[in-house]
Structure 1
Amino acid sequence: MTFSEILRKENEDLFQLIFEHPFVQGIGRGDVPKEALAHYIKADYEYLNAFMHIYGIAISKSAERKDIAYFNQQIEFVLNSEVHPHHNFCQQIGVNYEALQGYPLPPTADHYVKHMMYHAHTGGMGEILAALLPCPWTYWEIGLELMKQYEPDENHPFYTWISFYANLRVEAVTMNMRNRLDELAEAASPEERQRMKEAFRKSCQLELGFWEMAYTCEEWPAGNPAAIR
């Protein structure tokens, strides 16, 4: 069993909780509350900006050109491709994409970004990949699960979103990251492998928390800290 297969097995509980979350199931049914969709887009836009910055940190730590090329490709994917599922949500709530950009991260998304930043700055390449991997991996499997469970066609309100994440390109993103993590895990010490496992599980927990954050329209208690001067 490869290292990434072990990670998937050890985190089956969290993957299932994500698949069963009411926001995710609402995408499958086509009936997510508009407020939740807007809150998701606001947070995910800034989260993906941070994700690209973390890819940049990974490039700065890359000793091999294949890693530099991979992370460069991933920045392009986030920058130019992941806007399409966002636009699908925007169309359903009748709000321009630009109107949902530039908002401060809610608490859970803020925690998630800082968790990944911590591993990017203090960890090696394997640790960085382990912290990043649950994002594409859970979304790819969400797409597959919703395709299987609901069999949406082009008339489904979230067909664009579901089909985007169920497609071969997101699978390739996931598998490329998994394969590189497996290579690094082979050469890692037991302590490094344990840090990879911990980074991966916390990211899975925060993926679940992100869906809950969006569904409940989570805000900072007593106002956003960024607004305090």
Structure 2
Amino acid sequence: MSGPDYGRTFALWRAGAGEVWGHYTRHAFVEGLRDGSLPRAAFLHYLRQDYVFLIHFARAWALAVARAETLAEMRPAAATVAALVDAEMSLHLELCAREGIDAAALEATEEAPENLAYTRYVLEAGYSGDFLDLMAALAPCVLGYGEIGARLGAEAAPGTGYAEWIGTYGGEDYQAVCRDVGALIDAAAERRIGSDFAGAARWPRLAGHFRTATRLEVGFWDMGLRGR
């Protein structure tokens, strides 16, 4: 199962994650978005949880700015914070507003255990490790959504009720973010562990962060599909 070209490090991490990557990117929740069969209540529950998730995710990218060693690393990390706060969270606000869920209600959402586990894991990877540890934990969300969006953009059933969500992550703006993040990760890996990524002593730990975060993504979809 080939994936999009988001850089060499991502390709290696993705391959190393094994079958769990497919469990994430082809989860029943994702397939429900593709063919329009996902119950609306499940989608709205997911949106509310994802809005809270994105608040913590933006904090994690802000931590990446602090962990960066160069301006070349700081700039895209800072731009990602802005993209999350100004674009991705705005999508959630707009979609939920149409369903009668306002910003105050979104921000008052009680975090599900799966949300707590995932967001705190990513933040801890950054607090206890360095920039590259944090990138490994962040990558499944950023780049996985890009892969999902690109596939669903090509495969989605005509008239699916989830076209706006699919268009956001499959669109060129988000795909450009994925390519930029992939390039950022490649440069960060070469700077810290050299060009022989998989042969570096730190590689198993980095790959472990990526795989664990991918497993937590699967749990997030599970939570969304339950609708509670």
Q: Is 2:11 the counterpart of 1:5? A: yes
Change (3 A) 1:201 1:207: same
* Structure 1 partner of 2:4: none
Match of 1:223 in 2: none
Unmatched 5+ residue regions in structure 1? 219-229
Asked whether 1:213 is paired with 2:223, we answer: yes
Q: Deviations over 1:125-170 (max 9, x none)?
A: 1111111111111111111221222254xx4321111011001222
How many residue pairs get aligned? The number is 215
Match of residue 188 from structure 1? 193
Distance 1:90 1:32, change over 3 A: farther
For the Cα contact (< 8 Å) 2:58–2:84, is it kept in 1? yes
**CA contact 1:140–1:165 (8 Å) conserved in 2:** yes
State how far apart, in whole Å, the 1-side matches of 2:171 and 2:101 are.
25
Match of residue 45 from structure 2: 39
Kindly indicate whether the alpha-carbon contact (under 8 Å) linking 1:62 and 1:125 is maintained by their aligned counterparts in 2: yes
2:173 equivalent in structure 1: 169
* Mapped partners of 1:79, 1:85: distance in 2: 10
1:84 is displaced (CA, Å) by 4.7
Change (3 A) 1:88 1:125: same
TM-score (norm 2): 0.85
Q: Which runs of 5+ in 2 are unaligned?
A: 1-6, 195-199
CA distance in 1 between partners of 2:8 and 2:165 (Å): 30
Aligned mates of 1:12, 1:137 — CA distance in 2:
16
Does structure 1 conserve the Cα–Cα contact (< 8 Å) formed by 2:43 and 2:227? no
Shift of 1:100: 2.8
Q: Distance in 1 between matches of 2:34 and 2:91?
A: 14
Deviation, structure 1 residue 184: 2.6
* Aligned 1:1-229 pairs, distance under 5 A: 2-87=8-93, 89-90=95-96, 94-98=99-103, 99-152=105-158, 155-186=159-190, 187-188=192-193, 190-218=200-228
- Tell me if the contact between 2:36 and 2:161 (Cα under 8 Å) persists in the aligned partners: yes
Shift of 1:88: 6.1
Partner residue, 1:221? none
Q: Determine what percentage of the aligned residue pairs are the same residue.
A: 24
RMSD: 2.1
Cα offset for 1:83?
Answer: 2.9
Distance 1:182 1:67 in 2: 11
Distance in 1 between the 2:20 and 2:176 partners? 22
